[in-house]
Amino acid sequence: MAQAINKPAAGSHGGHGAGHGGRHEEHHDQEAMKTFGFWLFLITDVILFGTLFATFVVLRLNTDGGPTGAELIELNGIIISTFILLTSSFTSGVSVLEMNKGSKRGLILWLAITALLGAAFIYLEVAEFMHLVHEGATIGTSAYWSAFFTLVGTHGLHVTVGLVWMVALMLQLSRRGITPVTKRKVGIISLYWHFLDVVWIFVFTIVYLMGVM
């Protein structure tokens, strides 16, 4: 009778272990699906920016007799903004390296530096927009300026969303530390940030260099 009692106990223990392994596998699958979902989001963003770039290229000569980009845009400030954003891409990569080393403090520090650089980029972009409006170029001035403000402003909005996201992630890291969930989130925000840097390179080349020089 003792054996009859022990057998179900052993079976119960094996079932518990299988259940634990199943939950771990299910959690891993959920994290993978969330990462896949983010890739789908990036694909839609590529389509969005591709459409905005195509629109700008078509409308770049339609100034309606008003001011052109070459007349109003100050390229020196744009070069500084570009340097700041590309530097933030480097610091974002360093934050991932710190995470892989298991350094929560280093991870949060480099994310904070990345966020500060991103905030500086947004500040310069807002200053540029204010300068253009002061000079008489608004989103309603001509088709060219409509395309300009829409394209550059959409990128700036994405950077702003990334900043809010990054700050929220730093708060979560400070409370929970480096876990599989926060690791996934850091990897995703880093990928998102690199994507915005790539988009800005196209903005800098097509909108500013080709349009101003």
**pLDDT at res. 75:** 92
**What is the token pair recorded at 186?**
């850091």
Q: What is the pTM of this model?
A: 0.84
Question: Residue 22's pLDDT band (boundaries 50, 70, 90)?
Answer: low
Asked if residue 130 has pLDDT above 80, the reply is yes
The identity of residue 107, as a single letter, is L
Could you tell me what percent of the chain has a pLDDT over 90? 72
Question: Residue 162's pLDDT band (boundaries 50, 70, 90)?
Answer: very high
The identity of residue 185, as a single letter, is K
212/93 Cα distance (integer angstroms):
32
Question: Residue 115's pLDDT band (boundaries 50, 70, 90)?
Answer: very high
Asked if residue 1 has pLDDT above 80, the reply is no
pLDDT, one tens digit per residue, over 70-105 is 899 999 999 999 999 999 999 999 999 999 999 999
Helix (H, G, I), strand (E, B) or coil at 199: helix
**pLDDT at res. 37:** 83
Q: Which CATH number fits domain 33-212: 1.20.120.80, 1.10.10.10, 3.30.420.40, 1.10.1200.10?
A: 1.20.120.80
DSSP code of residue 150? H
Residues 41, 50, 64: CA angle, nearest 5 degrees: 135
pLDDT, one tens digit per residue, over 169-185 is 999 999 999 999 999 99
Domain ranges in the chain are 33-212
Backbone angles phi, psi at 189, to 5 degrees: -65, -35
Q: Which bin fits 65, alpha (ψ -120 to 50), beta or left (φ > 0)?
A: left
